[in-house]
Amino acid sequence: MDLQAVLDSIYAELSPRLGEGKVADYIPQLAKIDPHQFGMAIATTDGKLYSVGSADTGFSIQSISKVFMLTLALGKVGEGLWKRVGREPSGTSFNSIVQLEREEGIPRNPFINAGAIAVTDVVLSGHAPREAIGEFLRFVRYVADDESVVIDDKVARSETETGFRNFALANFMRAYGNIQHPVEHTLGVYFHQCALSMSCIQLARAGLYLAAQGTNPLTGHSVVSPKRARRINALMLMCGHYDGSGDFAYRVGLPGKSGVGGGILAVAPGIASIGVWSPGLNKVGNSQLGSVALELLAARTGWSVFGD
């Protein structure tokens, strides 16, 4: 299959629609982003790379970082992590507080904000916040095999100044003992992980370990066991798009994680890792054109995990 031709056809089809959706304006620094942008990259497990549009432009990966932090936390505490966070789709918005009260401070899954904050709190154990941020950045550079990945401090600061809901979620969990560090420390790490700036190409490469049973086929770096890679993919499929996860599975059929910066990391197990970015978001906070692009890709390649 000519994957470059597939990407080119998707780009051509979506070009007239650039600008659709709404950028995430609740984080002031993200509100400034021009929504008329689109990039997409595919890194295959046999070592090829295909890209189209602004695939080389860095953007704020936001919640996609939750996949990497989850990987790091599982490496530290293993299955014990599931005492702190569940594994079920939430069916509520990414920053919902209601469900957290009903479920006594144990978030539904590691990909909604509350769950990700609890996971970050686990990684923070035994470290100063600055060390945990450094460890996280080194880990992402390692999985991406790219030392140029950076954190955008302006985005981190912007969110620190305005992330009142995240402070509410974290304080709530602290009251239940599910946040074990000062809230500002845990959120300091969380805001920095979300502010990671990566391009579609870097993201596609960073996701390769999930497409290739836990080991990056390009570098030979073993990141997680095959079983763990499979399980992270399962969580991404069920919970990676907040309360739009069912619709994404229905339309695309691939494990994926979105972020409010407009990026999505998707995984075609055994075949490829895909990074797509377009800043305009749909109603549930997932990239509008990024989702459509992945739907077109799945249809044209037959890569859905449920068959063509």
Residues paired with 275 in a beta bridge: 41, 265
Q: Which of 59, 68, 94, 136 binds ligand GLU (CB under 6 A)?
A: 94
Residue length, the chain? 308
Residues near ligand GLU (CB under 6 A), total:
11
193 binds ligand GLU (CB under 6 A): no
| Residues 37-76, interacting with ligand GLU (CB under 6 A) | 62-63
CB of 194 to ligand GLU, least distance (A): 4
The correct pick among 71, 120, 166, 273 for binding ligand GLU (CB under 6 A) is 166
Shortest gap between Cβ of 98 and ligand GLU (angstroms)? Answer: 16
x/- contact string, 229-268, with ligand GLU (CB under 6 A)? ------------------------------xx--------
Q: Does 285 bind ligand GLU (CB under 6 A)?
A: yes
Q: Give catalytic residue positions.
A: 63, 66, 190, 242, 260
Q: For residues 60 and 261, is the Cβ–Cβ distance under 8 A?
A: yes
Nearer to ligand GLU (CB atom), residue 94 or residue 139: 94
Q: Which residue has the tokens 């990676």?
A: 240
Report which DSSP code applies to 92: S
Closest CB to ligand GLU among residues 107, 285: 285
Measured from the CB of residue 105, what is the shortest distance to ligand GLU in angstroms?
18
Q: Which residues contact 175 (CB under 8 A, 6 or more apart)?
A: 105
159 touches ligand GLU by CB under 6 A: yes
Pairing, β 59-60 against β 150-151: unpaired
Helix and strand element counts for the chain (H, E): 14, 8
164-159-60-112 Cα dihedral, nearest 10 degrees = -20
CA distance 63 to 166: 13
Tell me how far apart the alpha carbons of residues 175 and 81 are, in angstroms, rounded to a whole number.
19
Give me the residues that bind ligand GLU (CB under 6 A), please.
Answer: 62-63, 94-95, 113, 159, 166, 194, 259-260, 285
